[in-house]
Amino acid sequence: MTREKTDFWVGLFILLGLIALVFLALRAGNMSSFTFTPTYRVQAHFDNVGGLKVRAPIKSSGVVVGRVAAIGFDNQRFQATVMLDLEQSYVFPKDTSASILTSGLLGEQYIGLTPGGDEQNLADGDTIEFTQSAVVLEDLISKFLYSSAEKEGTGPGAGAAAPAASH
């Protein structure tokens, strides 16, 4: 085989590898969801972030408007501090409220923004005052169990030991 032919096939081989990588990154991966649009950063304090992760989406009315930049713990407030990178093209009033929501029953968590009615808009470095923590499934279950146990306690036949099953 001549040299040029070898070079041609090797070049084709490498090109195929690059195409495969681009395919994996764009078609199979989330490269296309990376945004390079300029963002501004605001922070919010939550009592409980639940399973929120860095790079989780921030949605308003279901539209992705930014991503979570960092999650930390504030030693002064004893609360979680979440940094939010919002895209510059979206503006929100100063009294916007942020809540941690779950997509679907078992899906991943994201931050939902509900705009308020303030005249001024959030700017870089601002803090979102109104927040609502993540709903923790265990809390829900224990609340439900307590309330059903209370109901049973006030019902007739309460306190009567269940007859032991004979073996």
Partner 1 sequence: MNALSQRIAALGHGFVSMITGLGAFARLFGAILARSGVVLRRPRLTAQQVHFIGNYSLLIIGVSGLFVGFVLGLQGYYTLNRYGSEEALGLLVALSLTRELGPVVTALLFAGRAGTSLTAEIGLMKAGEQISAMEVMAVDPIRRVLAPRFWGGVIAMPVLAAVFSMVGVLGGWFVGVMLIGIDPGAFWSQMQDGVDVIDDVLNGVIKSLVFGVVVTLIALYQGWTARATPEGVSRATTRTVVSGALAVLGLDFLLTALMFAH
Positions that interact with partner 1 (CB under 8 A): 3, 6-7, 9-10, 12-14, 16-17, 19-21, 23-25, 27-34
What are the structure tokens assigned to 138, written together?
A: 């265990």
Q: How far is the CB of 9 from partner 1 (least distance, A)?
A: 5
Q: How far is the CB of 29 from partner 1 (least distance, A)?
A: 4
Q: d(Cα 74, Cα 84) in Å, to the nearest integer? A: 15
Q: How far is the CB of 105 from partner 1 (least distance, A)?
A: 11
User: Burial, 48: exposed, middle or buried (Cβ in 10 Å; 0-12, 13-18, 19+)?
Assistant: middle
Q: d(Cα 57, Cα 63) in Å, to the nearest integer? A: 9
**Closer residue to partner 1 (CB): 16 or 137:** 16
Q: How far is the CB of 80 from partner 1 (least distance, A)?
A: 18
Amino acid at 99: S
> DSSP character for 120?
S
Amino acid at 21: L
Nearest to residue 43, comparing CAs of 7, 1, 15, 79? 79
Q: Which residue has the tokens 């969801």?
A: 33
**Closer residue to partner 1 (CB): 74 or 108:** 108
**Closer residue to partner 1 (CB): 2 or 154:** 2
Q: How far is the CB of 7 from partner 1 (least distance, A)?
A: 6
User: What letters, b where the CB count within 10 A reaches 16 and e where it falls short, cover 108-117?
Assistant: ebbbbbebee
**Closer residue to partner 1 (CB): 107 or 117:** 107
**Closer residue to partner 1 (CB): 11 or 93:** 11
